[in-house]
């Protein structure tokens, strides 16, 4: 079981390593598409990466409403509880 | 690498700026172009396009037929745009576009009619078309029978693109996303074109559209056709080979960023290297 800090750490690592995002730009309220400049294809890659890291299957619908870093953390936290 | 063939690009002579009575025939001609485009789209989707679409043949053959018909219709439309004085296209070395198969053709996007000019030069062209146009009754018939791609979200989009490219259709993409904002060289590039190229392992053929005055831009209303005929030159650069995408041994997402930067740089250098735009208002 992972807590929110660990999830955020994991997410930050993915965003920095895979998407050239600066670690200092990443905060809970940062929006993925505007401030972090992800596009829809990146979002697909991010979901795949998160699935690999968590070992959980992520349904695309669960990710549709995700807008900010915090939304991702919440979604992953929800998955880990199931 | 250089996008242009010759080092010393020379603008054609600029056209006069029409005022007063002289603008009236231009205005009528310009508005007629819109009318003809709309009616042509509607009529052809009710007549010739269904015939071509349902005439026997494999799915690819039928789509290729419609694409060729659209190519000839757009050639005719470019003739009309030239006749009414909206634009003068100079495309002397564009055989590479006519010969291209299953490539991603990218271009900068200075005017409303860029896609019309490109399709008039490419017999087997496809495009990604935004959802709102699929609901437009004048356009819908053409779009679907020519095998154009609706943007249905990232995953489906990549699959659709792969299929269209496999059928050797050339996919036209404007990385600027929308028409160039007047007064800037190019808009920042979105990564879609690079992403699609990388994930479908497709070569990119870069096309530079250079205009001598701002006309048919997003900032000007459609009912004000350009007072000064827009000289548009079409130049084709060396293709980006898909094998280059593997050089950096990095993730697709990162490579898309690298490639997009490279493409954006190429275009901004080429456009800056050309003589500056002449004044867009009267002299």
B60 within some domain? yes
CA distance B46 to B145: 11
Interface touch B257/A20, C-beta < 8 Å: yes
Structural element, H or E, at residue A82:
none
B7 within some domain? no
CATH of the domain at B138: 3.40.1130
Residue B104 β-bridge partners? B171, B204
- The CA-based dihedral angle spanning residues B57, B58, B60, B63, taken in that order and rounded to the nearest 10 degrees: 40
Give A24 to chain B, closest Cα distance, Å: 19
Q: What is the pLDDT of residue B9?
A: 61
Structural element, H or E, at residue B128:
strand B125-129
B279 within some domain? no
- Number of structural domains in chain A: 1
CATH of the domain at A48: 1.10.1200.10
Higher-confidence position of B113 and B246: B113
Tens digit of pLDDT for each residue in B102-120?
999 999 999 999 999 999 9
Q: What is the pLDDT of chain B when averaged over all its residues?
A: 90
Higher-confidence position of B59 and B247: B59
Q: What is the pLDDT of residue B3?
A: 56
| Contacts with A16 from chain B: Cβ below 8 Å | none
Q: Write out the residue range of the structural domain in which residue A40 sits.
A: 4-81
Tens digit of pLDDT for each residue in B206-223?
999 999 999 999 999 989
- Number of structural domains in chain B: 1
Q: Write out the residue range of the structural domain in which residue B219 sits.
A: 20-273
Contact B138, B41 (CB under 8 A): yes
Is B6's pLDDT higher than 60?
Answer: no
Is B280's pLDDT higher than 50?
Answer: no
B12 within some domain? no
Is B1's pLDDT higher than 50?
Answer: no
Interface touch A40/B154, C-beta < 8 Å: yes
Beta strands in B155-214 (DSSP E): 170-173, 204-211
Per the residue annotation, which of A5, A37, A39, A45 is the catalytic one?
A: A39
Is B279's pLDDT higher than 50?
Answer: no
**Complex ipTM, two decimals?**
0.86
| Rounded average pLDDT over B149-164 | 93
The mean-pLDDT minimum among A62-71, B120-129, B152-161 falls in: A62-71
Q: How long a stretch of residues is chain B?
A: 283
Is B234's pLDDT higher than 80?
Answer: yes
Interface touch A45/B192, C-beta < 8 Å: no
Of all residues in chain B, the percent with pLDDT exceeding 90 is: 74
Going by their DSSP bridges, the two strands B204-211 and B230-236 should be labelled as antiparallel
B47 within some domain? yes
Going by pLDDT thresholds of 50, 70 and 90, the confidence category of residue A53 is confident
Q: What is the pLDDT of residue A65?
A: 86
Higher-confidence position of B179 and B137: B179
Interface touch A39/B190, C-beta < 8 Å: yes
Give B253 to chain A, closest Cα distance, Å: 6
In total, the C-beta contacts within 8 angstroms joining chain A to chain B are: 33
Is B251's pLDDT higher than 60?
Answer: yes
B249 within some domain? yes
A39 is catalytic: yes
| Contacts with A42 from chain B: Cβ below 8 Å | 191, 253
B269 within some domain? yes
B259 within some domain? yes
Tens digit of pLDDT for each residue in B71-109?
999 999 999 999 999 999 999 989 999 999 999 999 999
């Amino acid at each position: 079981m992972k807590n929110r800090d660990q999830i955020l750490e994991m997410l930050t690592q993915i965003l920095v390593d895979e998407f050239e995002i600066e670690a200092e730009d990443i905060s809970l309220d940062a929006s993925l598409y505007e401030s972090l400049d992800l596009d829809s294809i990146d979002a697909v890659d991010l979901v795949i990466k998160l699935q690999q890291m968590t070992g959980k299957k992520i349904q695309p619908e669960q990710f549709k409403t995700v807008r900010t870093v915090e939304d991702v953390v919440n979604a992953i936290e929800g998955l880990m509880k199931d | 690498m250089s996008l242009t063939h010759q080092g010393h690009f020379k603008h054609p002579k600029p056209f006069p700026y029409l005022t007063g009575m002289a603008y009236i025939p231009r205005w009528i001609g310009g508005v007629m172009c819109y009318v003809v485009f709309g009616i042509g789209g509607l009529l052809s989707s009710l007549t010739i396009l269904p015939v071509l679409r349902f005439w026997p043949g494999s799915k690819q053959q039928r789509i290729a037929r419609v694409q060729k018909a659209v190519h000839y219709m757009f050639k005719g439309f470019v003739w009309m745009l030239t006749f009414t004085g909206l634009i003068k296209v100079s495309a002397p070395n564009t055989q590479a576009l006519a010969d291209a198969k299953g490539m991603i053709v990218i271009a900068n996007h200075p005017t409303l009619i860029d896609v019309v000019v490109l399709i008039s030069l490419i017999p087997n062209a496809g495009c990604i078309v935004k959802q709102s146009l699929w609901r437009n009754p004048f356009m819908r018939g053409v779009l679907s029978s020519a095998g154009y791609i609706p943007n249905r979200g990232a995953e489906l989009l990549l699959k659709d693109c792969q299929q269209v490219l496999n059928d050797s259709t050339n996919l036209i993409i404007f990385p600027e996303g929308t028409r160039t904002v007047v007064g800037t060289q190019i808009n920042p590039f979105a990564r879609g074109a690079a992403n699609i190229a990388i994930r479908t392992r497709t070569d990119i053929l870069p096309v530079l559209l250079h205009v001598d005055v701002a006309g048919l831009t997003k900032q000007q209303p459609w009912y004000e056709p350009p007072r000064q005929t827009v000289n548009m030159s079409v130049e084709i650069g060396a293709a980006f080979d898909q094998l280059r995408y593997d050089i950096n041994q990095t993730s697709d997402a990162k490579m898309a960023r690298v490639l997009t930067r490279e493409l954006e740089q190429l275009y901004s250098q080429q456009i800056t290297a050309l003589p500056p735009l002449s004044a867009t208002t009267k002299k």
